[in-house]
């Protein structure tokens, strides 16, 4: 009996050790990039032997990098503005109807999550080549919007599932029309999910690599495209600085989205 | 029938989304499908035939499945104990652990691949540790090969296994294990006979998700694989960019897509897709 208990406590100690080790494996690579980005030398060492903001200055001093960052931010913002209403509208349509059409539509709208991005990239590249939309900012915005729709759909659907639709019917029976009922009664209560889905749309565009690799070029090159090309050729330490800034940005946005989805009743 | 539904206002709400996905996903795929059957202006199965005859293609698909299988196995090996351990944590610590899983999930894929590029360098941190611990004499070649690709992809895809698996484990009634213990079952026996079978649907769904995402990967194998291992995604890119061979690229894309959609269909039968993605 006693021996059994000893063995089981040993097993649970082992399990804790393993669990913590896996968590470290998950987080460590991300947090090691940040101190390295302050390294003064070209060869990124850890811990850095001398600290310097050199690679950050390099980034802000380079018109190529800053331009790419600016292009990416604009594209992400436009994607967020387009994908959020499209996705929220679709989520509402799917949630309030149980027809076969809306279930089929759900599957179609989820497809961008399933199809490998390399296939999406060459497919759109081919279509854009016919209409001269390659290397245009609008072309990338539309492609990113398509990719972001499922993120918005999932997030706002889960918000709607926690909402009592009877409230909206009550509002309608009191004389407001459907749109007003949605805007005044439903939307304020699923606000958290809508904001979270907008944030996901923004980040999904900001981080997107493969599709931009094919569709953007020259002045329309996005930040991830430039980073990817730079990494393929040589390990440029400026990327450590950019990565650190992206890590901080996605952490902030991710935490904000988590708070948003938690808040819903 | 469809027209009738479209007449209703609610269905109209789906139109913008369907238009975007239709124009930028369905139309391109149908186009690629058509291209894959054309060779030198004539209908032909040449591009599909090549996938079985040309050793480069056969090897690439073999490598793709081999890497995807290894990555899936590793994520299960690391993820299952992690989830099982997290179940016992107090809510506060469980929240911390979940945040640790979500942080890489939120971080850009490119940034994570870059982080591994630095860590796995010849004079990188991992090699330094291995040498200072006396595990190796010489620095190991940890990247620009299959090892680098597998390490990077395991790290990137682990959250996709952990989130659905943990969600399904949380739904298992803890009283079942206590009842088994009360009836005299040892913890090990109760785990294998009760807990493990109940966690299988979540494990299968998570494992399939990791596998299916792995076989379509492009960025990480390209950066960490260093061009020696060519996965299916890279095969597509090379056919387009190096050889301008749209027919060949389309055929590879469609075979890959068919496998991916089939696996998603199987997964959907086990656990509804929105549960998988929502975690």
Q: Which domains does chain B have, with CATH numbers?
A: 56-278 (1.10.3720.10)
| Cβ contact, residue pair B102, A116, below 8 Å | no
Q: Cβ distance B102 to A247 under 8 Å? A: no
Q: What is the mean pLDDT of residues A49-68?
A: 89
pLDDT band at A1 (very low <50, low <70, confident <90, very high): very low
- Structure confidence at residue B61 (pLDDT): 93
Segment A223-241 shows an average pLDDT of 86
Domain count, chain A: 1
**Domain assignment of residue A156, yes or no:** yes
H/E stretch holding B230 reads none
Cβ neighbours of A46 in B, within 8 Å: 125
* A241 in any annotated domain: yes
Question: Euclidean distance between the first and final Cα of chain A, in Å?
Answer: 47
User: Is residue A149 over pLDDT 70?
Assistant: yes
**pLDDT at residue A3, rounded to an integer:** 54
What SS3 state is found at B227?
Answer: coil
Rounded to whole angstroms, the Cα distance separating A31 from B85 reads 23
Task: Report the run of H or E that residue B23 belongs to, with start and end.
Answer: none
N-to-C CA span, chain B: 35
Q: Are the beta carbons of A34 and A51 closer than 8 angstroms?
A: no
Nearest CA in chain A to B224: A232
CATH of the domain at A178: 1.10.3720.10
pLDDT, tens only, B63-121: 999 999 999 999 999 999 999 999 989 999 999 999 899 888 888 889 998 889 888 88
Backbone angles phi, psi at B142, to 5 degrees: -95, -10
Q: Higher confidence at residue A44 or residue B120?
A: B120
Question: Does residue A243 belong to the interface with chain B, where contact is any CB pair within 8 Å?
Answer: yes
Distance from CA of A156 to the nearest CA of B (A): 11
Residue A25 with chain B: CB contacts under 8 Å: 78, 155
Do A26 and B155 make contact, defined as CB atoms within 8 angstroms? yes
Q: What is the 3-state secondary structure (H, E, C) of chain A?
A: CHHHHHHHHHHHHHHHHHHHHHHHHHHHHHHHHHHHCCECCCCCCCCCCCECCHHHHHHHHCHHHHHHHHHHHHHHHHHHHHHHHHHHHHHHHHHHCCCHHHHHHHHHHHHHHHCCHHHHHHHHHHHHHHHCCCCCHHHHHHHHHHHHHHHHHHHHHHHHHCCCCHHHHHHHHCCCCHHHHHHHHHHHHCHHHHHHHHHHHHHHHHCCCHHHHHHCCHHHCCHHHHHHHHHHHCCCCHHHHHHHHHHHHHHHHHHHHHHHHHHCC
CA distance B96 to B92: 6
Greater pLDDT, A22 or B187: A22
Query: Averaged over A166-171, what is the pLDDT?
Result: 82
| Distance in Å, alpha carbon of B61 to nearest chain A alpha carbon | 15
Q: What is the pLDDT of residue A4?
A: 55
CB contact (8 A) between residue B106 and residue A8: no
- Burial zone of A87 (CB within 10 Å; 0-12 exposed, 13-18 middle, 19+ buried): buried
Set of chain A residues whose Cβ sits within 8 Å of the Cβ of B81:
15, 18-19, 22
pLDDT of residue B4: 54
As given in the structure block, the two tokens for residue A103 are 């279930």
B173's enclosing H/E stretch is none
Helices B91-106 and B146-170 pack at an angle, to 10 degrees, of 140
Instruction: Supply the DSSP string of B93-148, one letter for each residue.
Output: HHHHHHHHHHHHHHS-HHHHHHHHHHHTSTTSHHHHHHHHTTS-SSPP--SSSHHH
Residue A47 lies in a domain: no
User: Is position A67 within any domain?
Assistant: yes
Q: pLDDT tens digits, residue range A71-105?
A: 999 999 999 999 999 999 999 989 888 778 888 99
Nearest neighbour of B86 by CB, restricted to A19, A44, A114: A19
Mutate to test the interface with B, among A22, A69, A109, A246 (most CBs of B within 10 A): A22
Name the band, by pLDDT with cuts 50, 70 and 90, for residue A159.
confident
Interface contact flag, B100 A27, Cβ < 8 Å: yes
Residue A258's pLDDT band, with cuts at 50, 70 and 90, is confident
Least confident of A115-124, A215-224, A228-237, B245-254: A228-237
Residue closest to B152 by CA, chosen among B229, B80, B85, B97:
B229
For residue A39, the cross-strand partners are A51
Considering only the beta carbons, identify the residue of A27, A105, A110 that sits closest to B104: A27
Contact residues on chain B for A33, CB-CB shorter than 8 A: 111, 114-115, 118
Asked if residue A10 belongs to a domain, the reply is no
Angle subtended at Cα B230 by Cα A25 and Cα A233, rounded to the nearest 5 degrees = 75
Q: How far is B55 from chain A (nearest CA, A)?
A: 22
Domain that holds residue A257: 62-263
Res. A264 pLDDT band, cuts 50 70 90:
very low
In the block, tokens 């484990």 appear at B169
Tell me which residues of chain B have a pLDDT lower than 50: 7, 279
**By C-alpha distance, which of B151, B170, B168 is closest to B207?**
B168
Tell me the average pLDDT across A20-42. Answer: 88
Whether A4 maps to a domain, the answer reads no
CA B146, chain centre distance (Å): 16
Contact list in A for residue B68 (CB cut-off 8 A) is none
Cis peptide upstream of residue A47 (ω within 30 degrees of 0): yes
- Give the whole-angstrom CA distance, residue B58 versus residue B63: 9
Assess if residue A24 is contained within a domain.
no
Q: Is residue A11 part of a domain?
A: no
Output the six-digit token pair for B99.
Answer: 């945040």
**DSSP run (H or E) holding B271:** none
- Please judge whether B10 and A97 are an interchain contact, meaning their C-beta atoms are less than 8 angstroms apart: yes
Residue A263 pLDDT greater than 80, yes or no: no
């Amino acid at each position: 009996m006693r021996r059994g208990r000893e063995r089981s406590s040993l097993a649970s100690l082992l399990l804790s050790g393993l669990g913590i080790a896996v968590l470290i494996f998950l987080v460590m690579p991300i947090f090691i990039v940040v101190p390295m980005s302050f390294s003064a030398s070209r060869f990124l060492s850890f811990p850095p032997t001398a600290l310097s903001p050199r690679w950050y200055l390099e980034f802000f001093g380079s018109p190529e990098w800053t331009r790419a960052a600016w292009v990416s931010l604009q594209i992400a913002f436009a994607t967020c503005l387009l994908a959020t209403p499209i996705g929220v509208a679709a989520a509402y349509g799917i949630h309030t109807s149980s027809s076969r059409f809306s279930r089929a539509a759900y599957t179609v709208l989820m497809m961008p999550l399933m199809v490998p991005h390399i296939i999406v990239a060459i497919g759109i590249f081919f279509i854009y080549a016919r209409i001269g939309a390659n290397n245009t900012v609008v072309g990338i915005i539309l492609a990113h919007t398509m990719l972001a729709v499922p993120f918005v759909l999932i997030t706002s659907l889960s918000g709607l599932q926690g909402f009592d639709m009877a409230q909206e019917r009550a509002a309608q029976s009191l004389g407001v029309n459907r749109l007003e009922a949605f805007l005044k009664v439903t939307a304020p209560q699923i606000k958290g999910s809508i904001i979270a889905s907008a944030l996901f749309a923004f980040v999904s565009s900001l981080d997107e690599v493969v599709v931009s690799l094919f569709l953007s070029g020259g002045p329309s090159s996005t930040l991830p495209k430039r980073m990817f090309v730079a990494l393929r050729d040589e390990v440029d330490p400026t990327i450590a600085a950019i990565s650190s800034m992206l890590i901080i940005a996605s952490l902030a946005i991710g935490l904000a989205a988590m708070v948003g989805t938690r808040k819903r009743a | 029938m469809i027209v009738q539904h479209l007449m209703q206002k609610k269905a109209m709400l789906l139109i913008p989304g369907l238009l975007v996905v239709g124009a930028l996903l369905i139309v391109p795929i149908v186009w690629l499908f058509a291209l894959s059957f054309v060779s030198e202006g004539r209908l032909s199965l040449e591009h599909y035939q090549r996938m079985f005859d040309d050793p480069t293609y056969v090897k690439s698909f073999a490598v793709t499945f081999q890497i995807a299988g290894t990555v899936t196995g590793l994520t299960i090996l690391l993820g299952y104990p992690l989830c099982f351990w997290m179940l016992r944590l107090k809510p506060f610590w469980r929240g911390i652990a979940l945040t640790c899983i979500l942080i890489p999930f939120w971080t850009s894929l490119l940034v994570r691949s870059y982080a591994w590029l630095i860590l796995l360098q010849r004079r990188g941190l991992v090699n330094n540790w291995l040498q200072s611990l006396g595990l190796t004499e010489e620095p190991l070649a940890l990247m620009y090969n299959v090892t680098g690709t597998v390490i990077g992809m395991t790290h990137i895809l682990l959250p996709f296994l952990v989130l659905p698996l943990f969600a399904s484990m949380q739904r298992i009634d803890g009283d079942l294990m206590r009842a088994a213990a009360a009836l005299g079952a040892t913890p090990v026996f109760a785990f294998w006979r009760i807990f493990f079978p109940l966690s299988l649907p979540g494990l299968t769904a998570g494992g399939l998700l990791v596998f299916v995402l792995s076989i379509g990967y492009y960025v990480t194998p390209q950066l960490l694989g260093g061009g020696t291992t060519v996965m299916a995604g890279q095969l597509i890119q090379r056919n387009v960019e190096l050889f301008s061979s749209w027919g060949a690229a389309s055929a590879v894309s469609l075979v890959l897509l068919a496998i991916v959609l089939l696996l998603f269909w199987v997964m959907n039968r086990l656990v509804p897709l929105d549960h998988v993605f929502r975690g």
